[in-house]
Structure 1
Amino acid sequence: MSLLYPLFLAGLAAVALPILLHMIRRHTRRRVAFSSLMFLRASLPRFRSRSRLEHVALLVLRCTVLCLLALAFARPYLLRPAAPGAAGASRRIVLLIDTSASMRRADLWTQAVNEARAVLRDAGPADRVCVMSFDQETRTLIGFEQWQTMAPGPRVSLAAQEVSRWSPGWSATDLGQALLTAAEAIEDDETNDAEQARANRQIVLVSDLQQGSKLDALLAYEWPQRTELVVRTLPCRGATNASLQLVTNRDSLAPSHDDDLPDIRITNSPDATSDRFQLRWVEAAAPRRGRPALEKQSQDSRAAQGQDASAASGPTLDVYVAAGHSTVVRAPVRPGGPAPAKLVLTGDDHDFDNSLYLLPERRRQVNILYLGSDDPNDTAGMLYYLRQAFGTGRALTSRIAARPGRATLSTADVDIAHLIVVTDPLSQANLAALRRYLESGKPCLLVMKSPETATVLAGLAGVGRIEAQEAEIDRYAMLGRVELDHPWLKPFSDPRFGDFTRIHFWRHRRVDPADCPEARVLARFDNRDPAWLEVPIGRGTLLVWTSGWHPADSDLALSSKFVPLLYGALEYGGTLAERPSQFFVGDPVPLPSRTSPATADLQIRKPDGTTVPIDKDQEVFTQTDLPGIYTIESLGGSVKAEGQARSVLVRAYEIASDDATTNALDTATPYHSQLFAVNLAAAESKTDPMPVEELEKLGVLLKPAVPVVSDVARHTARRHSFSDMESRQKLWRWVLAATLLIVLIETWLGGWLTRPNPVEARAAGPWEHGSEGHATEEPL
């Protein structure tokens, strides 16, 4: 028991008063004169000396009353053991540990483990603890229920051992999602455990809190009111951190550089103390079957000779980057030619983000089959403008093969074509081949240069007959209504690019869409005649233009819309599906399609040499947890990479035949592979600390990890804590109630002990009448 005002215990000195009153000398209080005794000689009463106390019970009661009064004014209260941070309350604690790539810097991970151990040691016996790690994803190491099932004694050491076995990975940091997951875990545990529903909530974040952390998940989340966030920010030694990223050309049709060297962006941290760096190539051969052991032997031999296992090859480029700025440079000359390699940056304090894995950029070839009788050098024909539209770009080359419409087509011409353009009537054999081509899911463009080409539309659509005739035009026609919500025309939905009124059509063929029930009109002329139609055939699409782009029909070939329309037809058919410029750690990678049972045993070899088998129906690979070169391997058979699945394999370096007219890998080799590169996310290189106020702006309730207060403030806070504890207990009320009860007992007992006795009153002399004394003395 403790006292809020212990000075009031000085009132215990009043206990001596009743003791003195019980021991004072007894005197005659009053004299009574009797007339019958007036002639007798008067004598004084005789007093006796008393050496003992009488009525001890009455004395004890009176002393107890005084003690209880002093105790009540001292305001007593009982001290109860309290968990850290909350008096008399348990806590729900989520320990959230950052394991992203930025935690690989210096000794950050050692600090994180020590902080985690300190948090676990501070947990009280009644606390419920959950341990989580996070990077791009949030994982639970020890849940609330698992913590409760562990023995209270060793569970702290066991949890600390589990944390010690962790290590930071290579993924980016999604701090917002991690905090959201931790807050929801506390709420779920509070719902399941009704006995401690009002326990204090606390999330302890152990992280370097770098600027590259994502907080998007907190924007639409309402932070719980009773959940506090304690941030344990880890300081990092070394202020200079430079990183490098590949600068991608968004326009794949742009002309390529003659030297075919990539552009690299180098960024320096704002608080850097160094601004001079070096850029060089290092060999990064892709992992192959049997290669890891050979590479290990090669590295061991180099180490025995005193050489670096990752020695640079080729020239070194010196780069100047001021603190807080970035610069774009052309990579140095690749010494080994077109082979997988990595760029390494040196000169900063941290090397976790100093490597960039690259593969040789291979241009994709597009095969176009033109069925018409035009001369390729005739400026009045459509073939001339088609060849001009499909020029050579940075990552795309085209091959256009022209065949007469009624000439027999070879199977190879049709199979390798990504787009077939028809301008003349076709033979029945060619119509059947073209229909099979469309049913396989590929696109075809039918340009009605004359009304006779309506027979091609009728044959492909499977209808008996479609009438077509030349339209009567006063001067020229324009496009009146265009369905910009169609995927083919979606790029023109922006008002800046959706104006087709500058295109003039001198002639066009009039067809009735009712003759082809499945046709959809995508654009009409201003006289309501169909201009562009779409006819689905099997899994493919037939696009029909009722007017050509040659000068006799229109000036479409001279318009800025002409090239996007043609490339849009390729993309709508899946040939030019959009693909990412590069993969980052944690990104899903689409897998190539497999066309035979022999390719069912597909596997992926990771940069560390381990292999991951691929299921037969698996479409994406998600275990991209390491930066480096990944190899897609197949034991026998062929891996046919068509459509979007192949086009999305960024910078895939195919160890196969260089014949660009085929769309399959070399099947003559025992096995073949495709490569793709995975690099560190650029945001993870933003290592400068993020202010904790950024979290507070998003509604997170922050609590300082170690509050710094003065001694006076600490004493005042402690005093207020004791006062609150005493005001809740209110023990002084019970003390006063006991005091009142004892006073009533004392009053009754005192009255009973001092009541007059009639027999003794008559026997005693008149001089002996008076109050009862407690101590007398014999006269001398």
Structure 2
Amino acid sequence: MEFVQSTFLYALAGLAVPVIIHLIFRWQTRRVDLGTTRFLAELLRETARRRKVKRWLLLALRMACVALLALLFARPYLLAQRPGNEERLLVFLIDRSAGMALAPDGVRLVDAAVERVQQLVQEAGESSIVEAAFFDTSVEPILTDGREREAAFNGLKAPQQLWKGTSYGAAMSWARDICLKSSASARDVYVFTDLQRAGLDWTDAAPFPEGVRVRIEDLGRDVGNNVAMLRAVPAKTLLRPGQGTTISVTLFNFGEFSHSDTPVVLSLHNGARTVRLQDKASLRPGEATEVEFELGGVDTGLWEGTVAVDIEDDLRFDNVRHLALLSAPPQRCLIVDGSESEEGGIPETWFLERALRLAASGESSETSPFRTEVCRLESQSLPALDQFELVVLANAAQLSPTEAERLAKFVRAGGGLLVFTGENVTAEGCRSLAGAGLTPGEIRGIARTHDLPLRWERWDDRHLTLTPFNDPQNGDLTRLGFQAFTEVSPAPDTKVLAWFGDDEPALTEHRLGNGRVLWFLSSCSRAWGDWARSRLFLPLVHQLLGDLAQLTGGGPIQTRDIDEFTPALAAVMSDAAWNERLSKPGVTAIDQRWYVTNVNPRESDTDRCTPEEFADRFRFEWSDEAGRQGGLATATGPRGTETRRDEVWSWVACLLIGVLGLEWMLS
């Protein structure tokens, strides 16, 4: 028996734990015989013997549980010889990372790799099984059924554009899995790559099965002239109209030659309006150079463009980086106060307005991302909504059906709605809001407490609104105290973001058209608790409205590498969707955010590893003789037999469950 993860066998040292516990329970106080219990001596001795046997059985079962748990994680397997077929498995891995666009002889490396694979497939016999895949940071299989081989490989073409980085670990793991599933008597893996060293550090991989031969076809060339732009980062991506910023650019000379007075050009455009700035940089071999552009005030709108270094070198994909800036005024926010009276002279929205304004009444702060306007809900009517991006309802539910539909139209057009509840928010009072699709579900009533305050017990720590509070230094949301909250039964399309005790929703989110609606199921005043005076009130309400305005998670401008999946992307689309829509450098608008995509700067590092280093990294044997062969590797070893690896972890798991059941019955 052998093990896939043998290091887990060190967990067998845990066998000492039940032994120590057993010894502790054996410690007893001194026995004293009482005359009144002597007639029970025989019964007590029999009971003591049974307890002793039971303790030893429990000790054995608990030690067996620890041992089986360690074996389960170590994944034991059995090796055996079984008759093999006469088929041969050929696995081809074609590197399609950005570095494979290098064309030293007029032919791209990736095209040369495809031609080489087509040649080897023609040499393979009919009994051979062929599996092939392109890889960069992911793996894309080319052929999954051997019967389609001729059609698949005769018309095989390499991708026209190569942008992504290199991850050898993902490709080698895929090839290893193919070899494990195959019953062929000969299994060969061919890797066509430029052996870029940066690709070795991404993903770990388990060793290949015994008998699998891995051949490396090194198509790469030493790059003697490459200047890369590693970064072009604005100091701020969200500007106010007329405000400027600084754009920092980092260049690195990976080549062997110096370059003086190399032009670096910043180009931005907003419709017909353009901005063009130019600077020069001197680049010495193996050194980085910093360039800064001072961008003056820009007009309102999205400014997108590039920073490019004007130089002729071997790799052109890393000579330019995209960037974007958004110049926009603060978000206009309408706060609707639905309270009928002002208790103690303080309106319902007094704390909320000052938290958003970041200034006293009648004043404003340049640092606030919001410009607020407060109105009282009178005659069940709202002001014109087309001049606002955000609306807050504070204890305001008594809207007429016409006004509720106006508000729903505002949300469907992309507006954001935040609702704070209160005494006025009841099932009857919210009938118009529910008819317009603005409620999170069925409103059941109001839950109150008269002793200990109600608190948030848990929340969605991956939602962009609440992720800053995962760090306790930013505030502990469990410290928020409430005396009452609105009870809601969420609809199927409503997402609960935070919970009180007994899984009662505290914060919900649902979509309506292009906009979103957040319900904070308590009051924003002191009527239902003192949380409005806590230190968490200001950052939390800013996060709630900021998320509706796409200001959280890095803001409306999201900068990412082409193979990076950001939290903001995870909130709006699946892996497959972003891989399709953001598959090349540029600026893409998705769900009121702009994603600036660039090539991963790791791909600009032209340092190459040796085949020996590659083999050592992925734990397979490599010989120089195999690397120099021009055609298919000759099959060696006995035909008709093969090594089979049968994992037995499932049986270990069943045995562990049985032992746990016995231990439970005995204890």
The TM-score, its normalising length taken from structure 1, stands at 0.49
Paired AA for residue 384 in structure 1: R
Name structure 2 gaps, 5 residues minimum.
1-85, 432-441, 570-575, 629-635, 639-667
Counterpart-to-counterpart distance in 1, 2:393 and 2:88: 72
Q: 217, 232, 244: which one pairs with 2:217?
A: 232
Counterpart-to-counterpart distance in 2, 1:697 and 1:498: 47
Paired AA for residue 401 in structure 1: E
Q: 255, 259, 262: which one pairs with 1:278?
A: 262
Q: 1:446, CA displacement in angstroms?
A: 2.8
| Cross-structure match for 2:185 | 198
| Cross-structure match for 1:403 | 375
**Among the aligned pairs, what percent are the same residue?**
16
Counterpart-to-counterpart distance in 2, 1:512 and 1:184: 53
Paired AA for residue 542 in structure 2: Y
Q: Report matched runs for 1:664-675 at 5 Å.
A: none
Task: Decide whether aligned partners of structure 1 residues 705 and 333 sit closer, same or farther in structure 2, where only a CA change above 3 A counts.
Answer: farther
8 Å CA contact 2:456, 2:478 repeated in 1: no
Task: Decide whether aligned partners of structure 1 residues 339 and 572 sit closer, same or farther in structure 2, where only a CA change above 3 A counts.
Answer: closer
1:238 counterpart SS class:
coil
| Cross-structure match for 1:649 | 594
Q: 1:154-200 deviations in whole A, cap 9, x for unaligned?
A: xxxx97x8678776623333333333334445556x44xxxxx312x
Q: Report matched runs for 1:671-682 at 5 Å.
A: 678-682=597-601
| Cross-structure match for 1:773 | none
Q: 1:429, CA displacement in angstroms?
A: 7.6
Paired AA for residue 371 in structure 1: V
1:569 counterpart SS class:
helix
| Cross-structure match for 2:67 | none
1:564 counterpart SS class:
helix
Paired AA for residue 318 in structure 1: K
| Cross-structure match for 1:133 | 134
Paired AA for residue 198 in structure 1: S
Counterpart-to-counterpart distance in 2, 1:168 and 1:423: 55
The TM-score, its normalising length taken from structure 2, stands at 0.56
| Cross-structure match for 1:330 | 292
2:94 counterpart SS class:
strand
8 Å CA contact 1:95, 1:116 repeated in 2: no
| Greater strand content | 2
Task: Decide whether aligned partners of structure 1 residues 586 and 328 sit closer, same or farther in structure 2, where only a CA change above 3 A counts.
Answer: same
**Count of residues in correspondence between the two structures:** 495
8 Å CA contact 2:586, 2:597 repeated in 1: yes
Q: 1:285, CA displacement in angstroms?
A: 7.4
| Cross-structure match for 2:62 | none
| Cross-structure match for 1:371 | 336
Is the aligned partner of 1:485 residue 2:459?
A: yes
Q: 1:18-37 deviations in whole A, cap 9, x for unaligned?
A: xxxxxxxxxxxxxxxxxxxx
Task: Decide whether aligned partners of structure 1 residues 682 and 624 sit closer, same or farther in structure 2, where only a CA change above 3 A counts.
Answer: same
| Cross-structure match for 1:419 | 391
Counterpart-to-counterpart distance in 1, 2:610 and 2:485: 67
Q: 1:275-324 deviations in whole A, cap 9, x for unaligned?
A: 75735336687999xxxxxxxxxxxxxxxxxxxxxxx9944323456655
Task: Decide whether aligned partners of structure 1 residues 252 and 282 sit closer, same or farther in structure 2, where only a CA change above 3 A counts.
Answer: closer
Q: 1:402, CA displacement in angstroms?
A: 1.7
8 Å CA contact 1:406, 1:425 repeated in 2: no
Q: 1:260, CA displacement in angstroms?
A: 3.2
Q: 84, 89, 96: which one pairs with 2:93?
A: 96
1:181 counterpart SS class:
helix
8 Å CA contact 1:277, 1:346 repeated in 2: no
| Cross-structure match for 2:543 | 568
Say what the alpha-carbon RMSD is for the aligned residues. Answer: 5.9
2:538 counterpart SS class:
helix
1:455 counterpart SS class:
coil
Name structure 1 gaps, 5 residues minimum.
1-88, 151-157, 192-196, 289-311, 448-452, 592-617, 633-644, 651-676, 710-720, 726-780
Task: Decide whether aligned partners of structure 1 residues 420 and 241 sit closer, same or farther in structure 2, where only a CA change above 3 A counts.
Answer: same
Paired AA for residue 591 in structure 2: R
Q: 1:405, CA displacement in angstroms?
A: 2.8
Q: 1:46-79 deviations in whole A, cap 9, x for unaligned?
A: xxxxxxxxxxxxxxxxxxxxxxxxxxxxxxxxxx
| Cross-structure match for 1:494 | 471
Q: 622, 637, 640: which one pairs with 2:580?
A: 622
Is the aligned partner of 1:357 residue 2:322?
A: yes
1:317 counterpart SS class:
strand
1:262 counterpart SS class:
strand
Q: 1:397, CA displacement in angstroms?
A: 4.3
Counterpart-to-counterpart distance in 2, 1:556 and 1:497: 17
Counterpart-to-counterpart distance in 2, 1:215 and 1:446: 49
Q: 356, 366, 377: which one pairs with 1:386?
A: 356
Task: Decide whether aligned partners of structure 1 residues 430 and 347 sit closer, same or farther in structure 2, where only a CA change above 3 A counts.
Answer: same
Q: 1:565, CA displacement in angstroms?
A: 0.5
Task: Decide whether aligned partners of structure 1 residues 272 and 433 sit closer, same or farther in structure 2, where only a CA change above 3 A counts.
Answer: same
Q: 314, 317, 328: which one pairs with 2:279?
A: 317
Task: Decide whether aligned partners of structure 1 residues 258 and 549 sit closer, same or farther in structure 2, where only a CA change above 3 A counts.
Answer: farther
Q: 554, 558, 582: which one pairs with 2:559?
A: 582
Q: 1:344, CA displacement in angstroms?
A: 0.9
Q: 1:420, CA displacement in angstroms?
A: 0.6
Q: Report matched runs for 1:549-560 at 5 Å.
A: 556=532, 559=535
Q: 1:354, CA displacement in angstroms?
A: 0.4
Task: Decide whether aligned partners of structure 1 residues 563 and 384 sit closer, same or farther in structure 2, where only a CA change above 3 A counts.
Answer: closer
